[in-house]
């Protein structure tokens, strides 16, 4: 909707009001009239005029007093005022300036001069208003908790607020002769760009296509936890096609909380079921057959319940340790490559999978990985459980192939013969959605939250994830690249 300037005309002479109406009627202004000072004050507060044409000589309250009262009103203190006078008296003009007038016009009016004066003062007022609004906007952006960037069509950062400069390791203030940094090379020095597919379209992204969800992840180190930034591209008006506004949101707490919920649920499901079955089964048998059991049989069942209770206690301690411990391997808790087959076999038994074929490269060293055994178990559990859940008969054939370089990383390929996914589903597998809605589960439709949480564990230690359909038959391949611990330290 086009903005229309409002002109408030204040004069006690009906003839003058009619003359001004005739002169300004074709200028696309909204004209409002007042015949005295008191009416002018009331209407000014009501319509908030863009400019006020104010007669000097009026009964009861003259133009000087009206001007002074308007300047005392906070909402009208900056309103442009042109005083209308029948005399060319220097003292009257000085008094008008002292009262707060911006300009003067002498009666009788010159049509062109009137129009030019009004247009000029409206333009100056618009510039002043825009300058004030820009100052307010810059203050708000500078003190916002999120990072804000403006980058041009050459990917150079032309503006960064204080939080964005902190996130990207830039100096705290823009230096006078500081050359603009390019966004992608700068973030690649400090962050992993995930998911990879979402960042491939960065350079050619147009405003006509939806922006994918992108993250910057600073991997966990020995001294600090992983740090997550969600990158949002904000739309600019059509005339600003050569620039993008980016918002950098610190979503580390949300990602961490979501992963803890997932890990807790997963561990509850497969750790507590077995000991609880032992306890309940033993006690139920004792209650049903107590009178017919001998002393030794009673002791055996009590021991069985006791051992199951001990195991339950141990499993609960593991869960509590999971909630407080980092997923990253600490000294003495590293998982080595040679431990992977036993962990896979343990997970296979717990999920009651018939067989899993494991092929491991004989040239791989027995080097530690930057993930704890517990984290590796969670990752494998989630992937293999999905293989069961989404297989048409829940009896998948699974192959695990472990290869890699001698010093840099290992590659774990987990193949099943279940369903085939669409390109869109594949692109959404690794996105760790977090949602603030009260009743939201945060789950990705169809596949659940688990694979996204697998990705957070892998990304936070500097690894990468891929998922693609098998070419030889229906089924999915999950591919995980995990660096060796020593390669990270170096």
Q: Please compute the mean of the pLDDT values over residues 325-349 and round it to a whole number.
A: 77
Residue located via tokens 């962050």: 191
Lowest mean pLDDT among 8-12, 72-76, 443-447, 462-466: 443-447
Chosen CATH of 255-324 out of 1.10.287, 3.40.1000, 1.10.1220, 2.40.370: 1.10.287
Q: Respond yes or no on whether the N-terminal peptide bond of residue 195 is cis (omega within 30° of 0).
A: yes
% residues pLDDT > 90 (the chain): 26
The reply to whether CATH 3.30.930.10 applies to domain 144-250 is no
Buried b (16+ CB within 10 A) or exposed e, 289-322: eeeeeeeeeeeebeebbeebeebbeebeeeeeeb
Q: For residues 464 and 359, give the distance between their C-alpha atoms in angstroms, rounded to a whole number.
A: 21
Nearest CA-CA partner of 157 in 246, 249, 227: 246
Q: Is the pLDDT of residue 231 over 90?
A: yes
* pLDDT-derived band at 131, boundaries 50, 70, 90: low
Q: Please compute the mean of the pLDDT values over residues 455-465 and round it to a whole number.
A: 89
Distance linking the first and last C-alpha atoms of the chain = 60
Nearest CA-CA partner of 83 in 64, 98, 69, 108: 64
* pLDDT-derived band at 365, boundaries 50, 70, 90: confident
* pLDDT-derived band at 1, boundaries 50, 70, 90: low
Which residues is 410 bridged to in the sheet? Answer: 404, 482
Q: For residues 477 and 467, give the distance between their C-alpha atoms in angstroms, rounded to a whole number.
A: 6
Secondary structure (DSSP) of 443-470: PPTTT-SHHHHHHHHHHHTT-EEEEEE-
CATH 3.40.50.2300 residue ranges in the chain? Answer: 6-141
pTM here? 0.56
Per-residue confidence (pLDDT) for residue 236, from 0 to 100: 62
Long-range CB pairs of 15-18 (<8 Å, 24+ gap) are 16/55, 16/84, 16/107
CATH 3.30.450.20 residue ranges in the chain? Answer: 144-250
CA distance readout (Å), 107 to 25, 27, 226, 488 = 18, 20, 74, 83
What are phi and psi for residue 115, nearest 5 degrees? -65, -45
Per-residue confidence (pLDDT) for residue 329, from 0 to 100: 47
CA distance readout (Å), 455 to 265, 380, 429 = 17, 12, 9
pLDDT digits (tens, 9 = 90+) for 378-414: 899 889 988 998 899 999 999 999 998 766 899 999 9
Radius of gyration of the chain (CA): 37
* pLDDT-derived band at 331, boundaries 50, 70, 90: very low
Residue located via tokens 């961490």: 256
| Architecture of the 334-489 domain | 2-Layer Sandwich (3.30)
Q: Is the pLDDT of residue 319 over 70?
A: no
Sheet-wide strand order for 214-218: 157-160, 147-152, 243-250, 227-234, 214-218, 192-194
Per-residue confidence (pLDDT) for residue 289, from 0 to 100: 83
* pLDDT-derived band at 258, boundaries 50, 70, 90: confident
Per-residue confidence (pLDDT) for residue 286, from 0 to 100: 84
- Mean pLDDT taken over the chain: 81
CATH 1.10.287 residue ranges in the chain? Answer: 255-324
CATH topology of domain 6-141: Rossmann fold (3.40.50)
CATH 3.30.565.10 residue ranges in the chain? Answer: 334-489
Per-residue confidence (pLDDT) for residue 111, from 0 to 100: 81
Q: For residues 196 and 465, give the distance between their C-alpha atoms in angstroms, rounded to a whole number.
A: 9
* pLDDT-derived band at 209, boundaries 50, 70, 90: very low
């Amino acid at each position: 909707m086009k903005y229309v300037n409002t002109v408030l005309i204040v004069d006690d002479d009906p003839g003058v009001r009619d003359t001004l109406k005739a002169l300004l009627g074709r200028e696309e202004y909204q004209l409002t009239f007042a015949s005295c000072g008191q009416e002018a004050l009331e209407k000014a507060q009501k319509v908030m005029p863009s400019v006020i044409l104010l007669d000097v000589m009026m009964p009861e309250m003259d133009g000087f007093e009206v001007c002074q009262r308007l300047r005392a009103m906070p909402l009208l203190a900056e309103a442009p005022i042109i005083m209308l006078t029948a005399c060319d008296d220097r003292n009257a003009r000085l008094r008008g300036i002292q009262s707060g007038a911006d300009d003067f016009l002498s009666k009788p009016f010159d049509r062109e001069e009137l129009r030019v004066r009004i247009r000029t003062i409206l333009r100056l007022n618009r510039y002043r208003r825009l300058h004030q609004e820009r100052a307010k906007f810059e203050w708000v952006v500078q003190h916002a908790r999120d990072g804000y960037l403006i980058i041009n069509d050459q990917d150079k950062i032309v503006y960064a607020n204080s939080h964005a400069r902190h996130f990207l390791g830039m100096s705290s203030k823009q230096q006078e002769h500081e050359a603009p940094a390019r966004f992608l090379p700068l973030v690649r020095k400090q962050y992993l760009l995930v998911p990879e597919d979402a960042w491939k379209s960065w350079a050619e992204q147009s405003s006509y296509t939806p922006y994918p969800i992108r993250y910057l992840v600073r991997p966990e180190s020995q001294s600090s936890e992983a740090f997550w930034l969600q990158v949002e591209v904000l739309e600019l008006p059509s005339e600003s096609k050569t620039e993008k506004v980016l918002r950098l949101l610190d979503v580390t707490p949300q990602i961490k909380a979501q992963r803890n919920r997932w890990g807790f649920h997963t561990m509850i499901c497969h750790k507590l079921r077995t000991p609880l079955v032992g306890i309940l089964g033993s006690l139920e048998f004792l209650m049903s057959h107590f009178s017919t059991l001998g002393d030794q049989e009673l002791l055996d069942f009590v021991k069985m319940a006791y051992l199951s209770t001990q195991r339950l206690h141990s499993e609960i301690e593991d869960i509590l340790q999971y909630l407080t411990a980092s997923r990253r391997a600490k000294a003495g808790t590293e998982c080595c490559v040679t431990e992977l087959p036993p962990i896979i076999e343990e997970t296979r038994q717990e999920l009651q999978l018939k067989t899993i074929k494991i092929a491991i490269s004989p040239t791989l060293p027995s080097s530690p990985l930057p993930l704890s055994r517990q984290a590796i178990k969670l990752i494998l559990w989630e992937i293999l459980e999905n293989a069961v859940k989404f297989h048409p008969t829940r009896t998948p054939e699974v192959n695990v192939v472990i290869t890699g370089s001698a010093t840099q990383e290992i590659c774990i390929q987990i193949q099943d013969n279940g369903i085939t996914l669409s390109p869109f589903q594949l692109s959404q597998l690794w996105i760790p959605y977090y949602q603030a809605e009260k009743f939201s589960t945060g789950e990705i439709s169809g596949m659940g939250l688990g694979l996204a949480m697998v990705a957070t564990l892998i990304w936070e230690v500097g690894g990468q994830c891929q998922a693609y359909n098998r070419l030889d038959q229906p089924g999915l391949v999950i591919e995980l690249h995990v660096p060796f611990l020593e390669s990270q330290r170096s």
